[in-house]
Structure 1
Amino acid sequence: MSAALSRADWAKALVVVLVWGLNFVVMKWGLATVSPLLLCALRFMAASLPFVLFVRPPRHLSWGVMAGYGLAQGVGQFGLLFTGMQLGMPAGMASVVLQTQAFITMLLAAAFLGEVPHRWQWLGLCIAIGGLVLIGAAHGDGASGMTLAGFVLTVSAAAMWSTSNLLTRVAARQGPYEPVSFIVWTSLFPIVPLLLLSWWVDGADTMAQQLRGLGWRELGVVAYLALLSTLLGYGLWTRLLQRYAASTVAPLSLLVPVVGLVSAMLLLGERPSAWQWLGTLGVLLGMMVNQFGGLWARRGRRI
């Protein structure tokens, strides 16, 4: 694996960061007129159905692993995230809280894959938990107002993202696979469960009314979420992880909540409270300790 990103791959990484950071504002725009579970179903329909005729299923991977990943990511991560944002989770705060998936992944990997966390990773986890407590206890004003239900659902979405992370590691052990093919075919599995959940929660009449009312704005939101955030974003990110060490690529994800916070302030008028800002700093500091603690420890031993 290469040690440092090339200029072209730096550009790809920054495109992913920008797309994923703006993703939360786009979600809010879509949720203004479409219910969360239906919007989520439309996202994965657009990311899979037009392409399965042209993209072959990944070789070497079992259908069970692909189904598990698709359900964990589609129904779990995004179903919970969209619902949480509709129930009062601000877009900017959602971009921060969702990044705690890194710590939940660490805990799940320790429990199920036997990966023992280092001391600095435990320290980063404790700092991030302190930040989460501050965010969860805080209440913004106006567009930044946050509900407990929205916060809990967003943390749950981060946990489901961690589950899908573990399944990608299981998939990697089964053999090499093409990222876009993996994303297209795994996106098939959440469609029916999401439609059934939307029918159960919203009702058939509401679903039909929303589908008839889809305009250019709603179609643009679905296209952004499916083509840019899902296919382009995850495709480029997975390729970067295949070419470079995780320690080189993963820290760039720290920029996603920064873009998410700034874009939510500029485009949605969100203004986090002082406690939310403090909690955000705690989460980001915890992530930095988790990502760079090993490097700092090695430098300390050389001194």
Structure 2
Amino acid sequence: MKILLSLAFVLCWSSGFIGAKLGAGSASAITVLMWRFLPPAVVLVAVAAVARGAWRGLTARDLTRQAVIGLLSQSGYLLSVYHAIQLGVSSGTTALIDGVQPLVAGALAGPLLGQYVSGRQWIGLVLGLGGVTLVTLADATAGAGVPRWAYAVPLLGMFSLIAATFLESRSRARVAPQVSLTVHCVTSAVLFSVLAVAAGAAAPPAEGAFWLAVVWLVVLSTVGGYGLYWLLLRRSGVTAVNTLMFLMAPVTAVWGALMFGEPFGVRTALGLAVCLLAVVVVGRGEGGRNTAATAAGDGRDSATAAAGDGRDAGRRWATPEHARR
């Protein structure tokens, strides 16, 4: 099941780049982003009004925290990516900068969450960076007339998503995935609608390509991509989930080759293979670390572990004080 969820996550998250390209020819980025989040926000609010069980027990502080996470993970991340491309930064360079995310997350997971990365996992993370570099190196060149500061924009987006990830990981309240997604989408819908109205770009074009892009982004990228991201984060931990980000650039290249006839050469295939190897290495490193931790014991005998103490294995990494959610 974990492998299937991981595969679905990679496909859904990478689909966002393809959806953005589908809508780029018919509307501005802010228009696409507004209509990417407005329809699912309306639907999710309607569902929440009927199914209120998942919302019980949540405080205003919990919901505010989720709103901040939504601003960082969706609004901040996507705005930076789209803005960087509008400034002239190539998509390859943006993907390469974004590919550093697992290394940064791995370095911060120990001191912030108590989830330390093993030596084998570090080898996998470095391998993953090498694979992403192979895929994007040909495109990672400075464009003519691009200001130097523009290359810091996608870097800000990467840190925005990492900040949201760690903020969610340290949350004390256990928020259901449908609640998180609802709050995140509503927050992003409000922000992008305000920006689109202010820019005079709120009206959607009548072109079929635009609405195809919107449906694509809503179903695959927003509901599928972000929904699976938070689900896997709870089950697998920060390092394991962020390692899957290494696969986004190669898989996006496959999407582009199949849908738009973009070149898919030996370098891309080799990079994809290296990224897949990196994910396997990190996964095995995680398994070895958990086995060692279990053998050493963590103050809970097997009977207690079998009965359960309200904390599943995916929550061990939350904090050094034992899984503060």
TM norm structure 2: 0.66
Query: 1:72-107 CA distances to partner (integer Å, 9 max, x unpaired)?
Result: 012211111222344456667756653433222223
| Aligned residues with identical type, % of pairs | 23
CA shift, 1:66, in A, is 0.7
Using the TM superposition, give the Cα deviation of residue 295 of structure 1 relative to its aligned residue in structure 2, in angstroms: 5.0
Unpaired runs of 5+ in structure 2? 292-325
Shift of 1:179: 1.0
| Aligned equivalent of 2:208 | 216
- 1:219 maps to amino acid: W
What one-letter code is carried by the residue in structure 1 that aligns with 2:190? V
Give the residue type in structure 2 aligned to 1:63. Answer: L
Matches of 1:278 and 1:151 in 2, distance apart? 26
Whether the aligned pair in 1 keeps the contact of 2:27 and 2:205 (CA below 8 Å) is no
Residue equivalent to 2:120 = 120
In structure 1, list runs of 5 or more residues that go unmatched.
none
For 2:187, the equivalent position in structure 1 comes to: 189
Measured after TM superposition, the shift of residue 194 of structure 1 is 2.9
Secondary structure in structure 1 of the residue aligned to 2:44: coil
Task: State the number of aligned residues.
Answer: 279
Distance verdict in 2 for CA 1:198–1:71, change over 3 Å: same
**Compared CA separation, residues 183 and 216, structure 1 to 2 (3 A):** same
Match of 1:20 among 2, 13, 24: 13
Contact 1:95 1:257 in 2 (8 A): yes
Contact 2:66 2:184 in 1 (8 A): yes
Q: Deviations over 1:165-205 (max 9, x none)?
A: 1122123x312x321221012211123333444566xx32x
Counterpart in the other structure of 1:52: 45
Q: Is the 8 A contact 2:40 2:185 kept in 1?
A: yes
2:177 alignment partner in structure 1: 179
SS of the residue corresponding to residue 225 of structure 1 reads helix
Q: How does 1:218-237 map to 2 (within 5 A)?
A: 218-236=210-228
Describe the SS at the equivalent of 1:44. Answer: helix
Secondary structure of 1:49 counterpart: helix
Q: Output aligned runs, 1:71-86, within 5 Å.
A: 71-86=71-86
**How far apart in 2 are the matches of 1:296 and 1:115?**
14
Q: Tell me whether 90-99 or 215-224 shows the greater mean CA deviation.
A: 90-99
- Please provide the CA RMSD for this pair: 4.1
Contact (CA 8 Å) 1:44, 1:74: kept in 2 or not?
A: no
* Residue 252 (structure 1) shift: 6.0
**Structure number with bigger Rg:** 2
The residue aligned with 2:23 is 30
